[in-house]
Amino acid sequence: MYPTLSLYIDGEFIEAGRDAQDVVNPATREVVGRLPLASPADLDRALAAAERAFRRWKTSSPMERSAILRRVAVLTRERHEEIARHITLDQGKVLAEARAEVLGCADHADWHAEECRRIYGRVIPSRDPAVRQFVVREPVGVCAAFTPWNFPFNQAIRKIVAAIGAGCTLILKGPEDSPSAVVALARLFHDAGLPPGVLNIVWGVPAQVSEHLIASPVVRKISFTGSVPVGKRLAALAGAQMKRVTMELGGHAPVVVCEDADLDAACEVITRMKLRNAGQVCVAPTRFYVQRGVYAAMVDRLVARFEAIRVGDGLAPDSDMGPLAHERRVTEMQGFVDDARRSGGTVLTGGRAPRDGGYFFAPTLVGGLRDDARLMTQEPFGPIAPLASFDTLDEVIARANGLPFGLAAYAFTQNVRSAHRLASELEAGMVNLNHAGMALPETPFGGIKDSGIGSEGGSETFDGYLVTKFVTQV
């Protein structure tokens, strides 16, 4: 049922003859596959292929790029069921979420197919009638991208369609824990007619691969999605060689629930967004600040909703939430709960593994923590959240902005003045007011402060993959 895994270099799928590592189903702990790892020679071959391919791809017609991206969208829709099942097998999320992830990515491919035909320059009126001055935007060059395991299909395709739509070529290292989605992507682009070398897929020890690729003079741009510490490390390596970066890093999204909010609607959004993908989402609501007058009512509602969630194998039709993606996340969750108890917090629900077998952890709410507690300041990246009360908008905005992160923020209020203030004063790359609606192809996705540099999606999507050239001519 699980596919054969491979490297993809210069248009060739390489399945055997390399060191390999096990891939584990997090719902059962069973080994489902073997992943071949790139040797240093494979990385050099990928670099040479990407450099060679760039010479032609950078001048390819936007119509040619667009047609390939359109075919990728069609093939993604055709193959989505199989790809989704494999994601559930090696990542753990419930099948409905895996399907939604893959189908949503067909829309990303379509959007980039349209937008890449509109990478315009401009003419600047000159001071001298004999002079013509214009600005063109050119592909930056060979890119190296590193994508994580929580949305293995989505995070990889967003980087691929932006890079190749802009006329760049790419070497992408996907997540070794959950690799089937990225191998499926290689197959999709290959079958859609992408020329050899434009996209290359490698696997290995993450730090070794990234250091090898970033050190190469062939690579002109780095794109990474993952944790803040790793992002800072890769950005420093890139900065030392003046290479461009796009960084989509961690967050610790504040949620502000005002007394005048529709509490049932707020609970529905918060629960859905918090427990999607077992909480392993960089934009998941993370710190819940509830105005004092509705704090008790909100706790009751959220506890009831969290306890109604059925935790189980993502392939079982009655599971609402699957396992965590690997064992180290379960250890982390237990660490957050233990620390919260030691810090005087109260576990309102959950706090333990609800069943044996896989890497399961119960949806968990904790009350009574100070703002400097570990759970209030470090990204849990799992199905656990702290609740705290607040009195005034001034106070909660200051507390919400008190961490170095700035990815997503959420707020619920029916007061228009409060909504305006929250929209303008919350320090985040994405602010959700009274609903959640991020990561659409046509909307920019990205963070500020420690949460990152640059945006993916929206009309900003190609900015990180283009350089500006000014031409003046008599």
148 lies in the binding site for ligand NAD (CB under 6 A): yes
Radius of gyration of the chain (CA): 23
Q: Distance (Å, rounded) from C-alpha 295 to C-alpha 54? A: 57
What angle, 0 to 180 degrees and rounded to 10, lies between the N-to-C axes of helices 152-166 and 62-91?
Answer: 170
Q: Which stretch binds ligand NAD (CB under 6 A): 23-31, 147-155, 290-298, 342-350?
A: 147-155
Q: List the one residue from 230, 245, 348, 400 that touches ligand NAD (CB under 6 A).
A: 230
25 lies in the binding site for ligand NAD (CB under 6 A): no
- The reply to whether 248 belongs to the active site is yes
173 and 214 Cβ atoms separated by less than 8 Å: no
330 and 359 Cβ atoms separated by less than 8 Å: yes
Q: Distance (Å, rounded) from C-alpha 218 to C-alpha 224? A: 17
250 lies in the binding site for ligand NAD (CB under 6 A): yes
- Min dist. Cβ of residue 264 to ligand NAD (A): 29
Smaller CB separation from ligand NAD, 153 or 295: 153
What is the DSSP pairing of strand 408-412 with strand 430-433? parallel
381 lies in the binding site for ligand NAD (CB under 6 A): yes
Catalytic one among 97, 267, 282, 427? 282
Q: List the one residue from 175, 197, 363, 429 that touches ligand NAD (CB under 6 A).
A: 175
Q: Distance (Å, rounded) from C-alpha 455 to C-alpha 453? A: 7
146 lies in the binding site for ligand NAD (CB under 6 A): yes
154 lies in the binding site for ligand NAD (CB under 6 A): no
Question: How deeply is 425 buried, as exposed, middle or buried, from its count of CB atoms within 10 A (0-12, 13-18, 19+)?
Answer: middle
Contact set for ligand NAD, span 280-339 (CB under 6 A) = 282, 328
Structure tokens given for 439: 């990561």
Smaller CB separation from ligand NAD, 206 or 354: 206
149 lies in the binding site for ligand NAD (CB under 6 A): yes
Q: Distance (Å, rounded) from C-alpha 336 to C-alpha 281? A: 17
Q: Which stretch binds ligand NAD (CB under 6 A): 5-13, 20-28, 226-234, 409-417?
A: 226-234
What is the DSSP pairing of strand 285-291 with strand 346-349? unpaired
Per-residue x/- track, 176-215, ligand NAD (CB under 6 A): ------------------------------xx--x-----
227 lies in the binding site for ligand NAD (CB under 6 A): yes
Smaller CB separation from ligand NAD, 139 or 429: 429
- Min dist. Cβ of residue 464 to ligand NAD (A): 16
- The reply to whether 282 belongs to the active site is yes
Smaller CB separation from ligand NAD, 270 or 324: 324
Q: Which stretch binds ligand NAD (CB under 6 A): 51-59, 88-96, 247-255, 434-442?
A: 247-255
Question: How deeply is 178 buried, as exposed, middle or buried, from its count of CB atoms within 10 A (0-12, 13-18, 19+)?
Answer: buried
- Supply the DSSP string of 432-444, one letter for each residue: EESS-----TTS-
Structure tokens given for 160: 């691929």
- Supply the DSSP string of 241-264, one letter for each residue: TT-EEEEE----EEEEE-TTS-HH
List the beta bridge partners of residue 36.
20
Q: Give the interface with ligand NAD as residue ranges (CB under 6 A).
A: 146, 148-150, 175, 206-207, 210, 225-227, 230, 234, 248-250, 282, 328, 379, 381
